[in-house]
Structure 1
Amino acid sequence: MEIRRHEILANGIRQRVLVAGPEDGIPVLLIHGNCSSADFWQPLIRRLPATLRLVAPDLRGYGGTQVAPVDATRGLRVFADDVAALLDEPALFGTADPRPVLVGHSLGGGVAMSLLIGHPDRVAGLLLAAPVSPYGFGGTRDLAGTPTTPDFAGTGGGTAGADFVRRLAAAERGTDARTSPRNVLRTAYVADPASLGEDEELLLDSVLSTATGDDNYPGNSEQTGNWPGMAPGDRGVLNTLAPKHFRIADELVAVSTKPPITWVRGDADVIVSDTSLFDLAYLGQLGVVPGWPGAEACPPQPMIGQTRAVLDRYAAAGGSYREIVLPGCGHSPNIERPAEFVAALLDLV
C-alpha cells in the first residue's frame, strides 16, 4: 500500500502521521514504542491488506512530530491524549466516528491501554506487542505490583545508559561501541539482527529521531538513599513509564467497555521480560549494577507475570484476551515474525 504523510495540529501540537489504505477501510491505529517512530510500522504496513485504513502517528518528541515537553506526572496519558485527539480528524479517518483496533508496541502498548481507559467507547480491540506491564517498568516486586521502595527507586529517567543517550543525541550510526544506537537496535530490539534485513537503515533512522533531554528522552531523576541511588523525576519519557506515574492495572480491569485483547510477545525479549536486561534489579542480581541489596529487598520485576495476571482479571470481569508467544522472537514481533503478527492482527480485526 502507498504510505502518505500528513501533518495534523491536534491537542496543541503538530503531529506527523503516516496513513495508508482507503478512507472507508477498517480503521487500525498503530502506536510505536520508545526510541522509535511511526516508521517502525512501515515493514508491517507493506504486508497488510488494502481493506484496512492504517493510521500511524509519531508520538511527541519522535519522528516528525513536534518536540514538546513530556509531563511525566500524567504517565502515558500524556501520549494517549495526543493520539486520542487524532480520532476526530477527517483527513485521517473520514467523517465517520471511528472505533479503530489499537496496535501498540512496548511503550505504545501502555499508550493503547491508557487510551482505552480514557475513551472506552472509541476502541474496537487491542493488539499489544511486547507491552510494558500495567504496573509500569521496574520498581515492583510481585504480580500485584507492590512497590519495592516507597519512592520507586531504580526507575525513571536516571536508569538510561548515559553513553547510549549521548550517542543517540549525536545521531551516531556506527558499530564501534556496544552502546551505539545501531548495536542496541541489533541486540535489544530483536533477537536476530538478520531479521532487520533491508529495513535496518529505515529502522535506525526511526531510533535516531528520538528527541533527547530532561523534557523528552530519558527525562530527569531525583536522588534517593534507596538502592541504586536514583528515583523517578517528573519530566521526560522514562518517568512516564515509572510505576510512580504509570499504574493502570485497576483502571484497565474496571473499564466500562471491554474490547478483545490480543497479546503478542517473543520468548527471547530482553526488554520486557521477567529477566529484563533493562531492569536495574535484574542487572543488580547479575552483578552488573553494584550494591544490589538482594532478592528479598529488591527482586527483579515479574513483567510477564504481571501482565498475564491483569489480563486474567480483565477476562474475569467480562473481557477476553489471547496470549500468543513466539519462540525465538525478541522485542519486536512485528519486525521479526511479520507473518504471525499479520495473522494475529487480522484475526482481531
Structure 2
Amino acid sequence: MTEFDGITARVIPTERIDVGLLERAADDPSTPPERTVVLVHGNVTSAVFWQETMQHLPSDLRVLAVDLRGFGHSEHAPVDATRGLRDFSDDLRATLEALGIPSAHLVGWSMGGGIVMQYALDHPVQSLTLQAPVSPYGFGGTRRDGSRLTADDAGCGGGGANPDFVQRLTDRDTTDEAPTSPRSVFRSGYVAAGYSGEHEDLWVESMLTTSTAEGNYPGDGVPSENWPGFAAGTIGVLNTMAPRYFDVSGIVDLPQKPPILWIHGTADAIVSDTSFYDLNFLGQLGVIPDWPGADVAPVQEMVSQTRDVLDAYAAAGGAVTEVVLEGVGHSPHLESPTEFRAALLAVIGYVGSRIEPSPATEAIIIRSVD
C-alpha cells in the first residue's frame, strides 16, 4: 500500500490484536490529547483513505489513522457481532493505550462514526466528528424513533450483502466491468456522480484489503419468516450494525458531553433517508420483489434519526454543529476536503479555523445547536 509524502505506516501489537497504523513522520508523540486527532475509517475501506486529510491538517497537531480489524494491515480477527461495534471500539481503545494516548479528538466515517460514538459511551473523548455516520440505531430494520421492525431484524446484516461484490473483493478485482466491482461501487456509492480524483486506484486497492474470511466481511445471515426472508446473524461486519446489537442513542445521556460535528452530503447514496443500501427502500422501489408495504417494512430514515438524536443531545446540554454539503456524496473528506478540514478544525477548537464553501461546492449549510 502506498504511503503519501510525510506519512509512515507500521503495525503495533496491542492486548487485543495487531493494529495497522498511519502516522505523520514529523508529529510529536508527546502532543497533548487536546491536540491529538484520531481518524477511523468505515466499512470496506482502510486508513489509507485518510492520507490527504492527514497531509493537510496543521503541523502542530498529532494526527493518526487506524486500520480496523479485518481491514488494511490490521489482524484479520473475527468480529463478534453480538457486541455491536464494541469489538472495533475496544480495539481502538487498546491501540490508544498502547500509544499512551488517554484521550483524543475522534473522527469516524460511516461505520467509523458508529464506532466513535460507541467509544464515547465507554471512554472520555475530546470531541466527536461524525462524517456520514451510520444511524445511532444501526443500519436497517428500525422506525424513525429507533424501534425495531421485527424481533429478528429481518433484512439486516450479512445476508444482505451482494455475493458477487463479496466474491470480487476476494478475487481482488480492480476492473469496472460490472456494477458490483469494488471500483464501480466506489464510483456509485462512496462519492457523488461526477466526482473524479487522482487516487482512485489507491482507494480501490484499499477496499481490496477487506477480509472476506468467516467472521469478517460481510458476516452470516439466518432464515426469517419475515420479508425479505433472512435476518441478522451473529458474526461479521454487517451484523454489528443490526439494531438488536447496536444502539448508541445513549450518548444523549452522557454526563460529560464532548462537542460533536456532524458533516454529511445531500447526495449520499449509502446513509440517507432514501438509502440505496436499505433493503426496505429497494423493496419500495420494486427492486426487491414482494415488499409488504410501509406499515410492515418502512424505509429507514437514517439522516432524520441522527438529527433527532443529536437534537436531543443538544437539548441535554451538548454542543452540536451540523454541516450539510450540497451535491456531495458519502465521502466529504475526499469530495470537499477544504470544507471538511475547516469544520474539523472548528470543532476541535483550532484557532483561526473557518468554514467556507470552495468553488467546487454548490452550497454549504451550517446548523449549530447548543
Q: TM-score, normalised by structure 1?
A: 0.95
Alpha-carbon distance between aligned partners in 1 of 2:137 and 2:211, rounded to the nearest angstrom: 25
Determine which of 28, 33, 52 is the counterpart of 1:22. Answer: 28
CA distance in structure 2 between the partners assigned to 1:343 and 1:283 by the alignment: 35
8 Å Cα contact 2:19-2:95 kept in structure 1: no
The answer to whether residue 161 in structure 2 is matched with residue 160 in structure 1 is yes
CA distance in 2, matches of 1:72, 1:267: 30
Per-residue deviation, 1:213 = 3.4
One-letter amino acid of the structure 1 residue matched with residue 133 of structure 2: P
Quick one: which amino acid aligns to residue 61 of structure 2? L
2:132 match: 130
Deviation of 1:22 (Å):
2.5
One-letter amino acid of the structure 2 residue matched with residue 34 of structure 1: N
Amino acid at match of 1:210: T
Identity %: 51
CA contact (8 A) 1:126 1:262 kept: yes
Q: Which amino acid aligns with 1:201?
A: D
| Matching residue of 2:246 | 246
Note the alpha carbon deviations across 1:139-165, whole angstroms, 9 max, x for none. 0122x1111112110000001111111
Read off the aligned partner of 1:62 and give its amino acid letter: F
Match of 1:9 in 2: 13
Residue matched to 2:190:
189
Alignment-mate amino acid for residue 110 of structure 2? S
* Unaligned ranges ≥5, structure 1: none
CA deviations on 1:187-240 (whole Å, 9 max, x unpaired) are 100003533x11111111111110013300000011000000010000000000
Out of 61, 74, 86, the residue aligned to residue 77 of structure 1 is 86
Paired with 2:269 and 2:50, the residues of 1 have a C-alpha distance of 20
Matched ranges for 1:335-346 at <5 A: 335-346=334-345
Measured in 2, the distance between the counterparts of 1:326 and 1:81 equals 31
**Pick from 99, 104, 111: which aligns with 1:107?**
111
Structure with more contact order per residue of length (Cα contacts < 8 Å, sep ≥ 6): 1
Q: Is the 8 A contact 1:22 1:50 kept in 2?
A: no
In the TM superposition, what are the counterparts of 1:84-95 in structure 2 within 5 Å? Answer: 84-90=93-99
SS in 2 for 1:210: coil
**C-alpha distance in 2 between matches for 1:38 and 1:183:** 20
Matched residue type, 2:254: V
Q: Deviations over 1:59-79 (max 9, x none)?
A: 000000010000000000110
Which AA in structure 2 matches 1:335? L
**Within-5 A mapping of 1:282-321:** 282-321=281-320
SS in 2 for 1:217: coil
Matched residue, 2:55: 46
Residues in 2 aligned to 1:159 and 1:151: alpha-carbon distance in whole angstroms: 14
Aligned length: 339
Q: What is the CA–CA distance in structure 1 between the aligned matches of 2:95 and 2:313, rounded to whole Å?
A: 27
User: Quick check: which one's helix share is greater?
Assistant: 1
Q: Which amino acid aligns with 2:79?
A: V
What SS class does the counterpart of residue 35 from structure 1 fall into?
Answer: coil
| RMSD between superposed Cα atoms in Å | 1.2
Query: Which one of the candidate residues 61, 69, 73 is aligned to 2:70?
Result: 61
Q: In structure 1, what is the Cα distance between the partners aligned to 2:237 and 2:214?
A: 9
Give the secondary-structure state (helix, strand or coil) at the position aligned to 1:167. Answer: helix
SS for the counterpart of 1:82 is helix
Q: Which residue of structure 2 aligns with residue 270 of structure 1?
A: 269
Matches within 5 A, 1:134-283: 134-142=136-144, 144-192=145-193, 194-195=195-196, 197-249=197-249, 251-283=250-282
Contact kept, 8 Å, 1:187 with 1:193, in 2: the verdict is no
Q: Residue 218 of structure 1: SS of its match in structure 2?
A: coil
CA distance, structure 1, for counterparts of residue 178 and residue 201 of structure 2: 18
CA distance in 1, matches of 2:229, 2:315: 39
Letter matched to residue 37 of structure 1? S
TM-score (structure 2 length as normaliser): 0.89
- Inter-partner Cα distance in structure 2 for 1:268 and 1:35: 20
CA distance in 2, matches of 1:223, 1:146: 21
Mapped contact 1:284–1:291 kept (Cα < 8 A): yes
- SS of 2:159's equivalent in the other structure is helix
